[in-house]
Amino acid sequence: MLKASDLFYSYPGRPVLQGVSLTLSPGEVVAVLGPNGTGKSTLLRCLAGALTPQGQIELSGRALGAVPPVERARLLAFVPQHVPARLPMTVFEAVLLGRRPYLSWRPRPQDLEATWESLSILGLAELAHREFSEISGGQRQKVALARALAQNSRLLIMDEPTSSLDLRHQLEVMSLLCARAEEQGTGVVLAVHDLNLAARFASRALLLHQGRIFAEGPPEQVLTEDSIREVYGVDVLRMEAAAGAMYFPLAASSSPA
């Protein structure tokens, strides 16, 4: 569904992505991991079309750059890392924005329904008519997720979607995304910091190190104590549990990352 080859990207004076390739198939949940500054956000933004890297990106067989923006919005939803703190509208309206690729002027019943559904799935139904600026940071992040879900796209690209959520909501959101991927064949790519979440929910993991792919594959293969030590510079203790692997950080290692 999404195929990226040999992506190179640099910010002025600072090269970030140095040849990253990745393929995404329907129904996959791919976790992009790596320390700060390795290029996770950059990679996601390139995949979403927000940045134009060197290399090729193909969406459903077509070059990403050639797809008109509105059509691309129906195929691909992007949740950036930072959600604006203030919007002069209600929560409902903020989620309704996600229907823009389908809207002409008046929202149709389908649009309203899709919005409402996303809100309900994420447990935001009671907040629907509160002002956006009145809800908490975690709730705002969920609103951003709801907006992406309302977009009803084939592909979800998310940059740290659970960073502001509490434990329970983290698990809820991740389960939801997995369910979505399974039931509707949606492809999900997300950047996470939490190794445990990645191990538990992702079907595939991508470990980035200094702008290149260090390892790729099922999480238990990619996330080994050695790989974590080399990439993150942290000693961890890996334990197997019924739900999946768990990682306990021990100390920052003496060898450089």
User: Which of 234, 191, 149 lies closest to 47 in space, CA to CA?
Assistant: 191
Residues 148 and 151: their CA atoms lie apart, in Å, by 5
C-alpha torsion sign, points 30, 35, 39, 42 = positive
119 sits near another protein (criterion: CB under 8 A):
yes
Residues 141 and 32: their CA atoms lie apart, in Å, by 19
125 sits near another protein (criterion: CB under 8 A):
yes
Instruction: State which of positions 141-180 bind another protein (CB under 8 A).
Output: 144, 151
The distance of closest approach from Cβ of residue 155 to another protein in the complex, given in angstroms and rounded to an integer, is 11
Instruction: State which of positions 15-44 bind another protein (CB under 8 A).
Output: none
The binder of another protein chosen from 35, 101, 138, 233 (CB under 8 A): 101
The binder of another protein chosen from 3, 8, 117, 163 (CB under 8 A): 117
Q: How many residues interact with another protein (rule CB under 8 A)?
A: 46
- Please name the residues in contact with 5: beta carbons below 8 A apart, sequence gap of 6 or more: 21, 55, 56, 57
Instruction: State which of positions 35-94 bind another protein (CB under 8 A).
Output: 45, 48-50, 69-74, 76-78, 80, 82-84, 86-90, 92-94
Beta strands in 65-105 (DSSP E): 76-79
Contact of 25 with 73, CB cutoff 8 Å = no
The residues binding another protein (CB under 8 A) are 45, 48-50, 69-74, 76-78, 80, 82-84, 86-90, 92-94, 97-98, 100-101, 103, 105, 107, 109, 112-113, 115-117, 119-120, 125, 128-129, 133, 144, 151
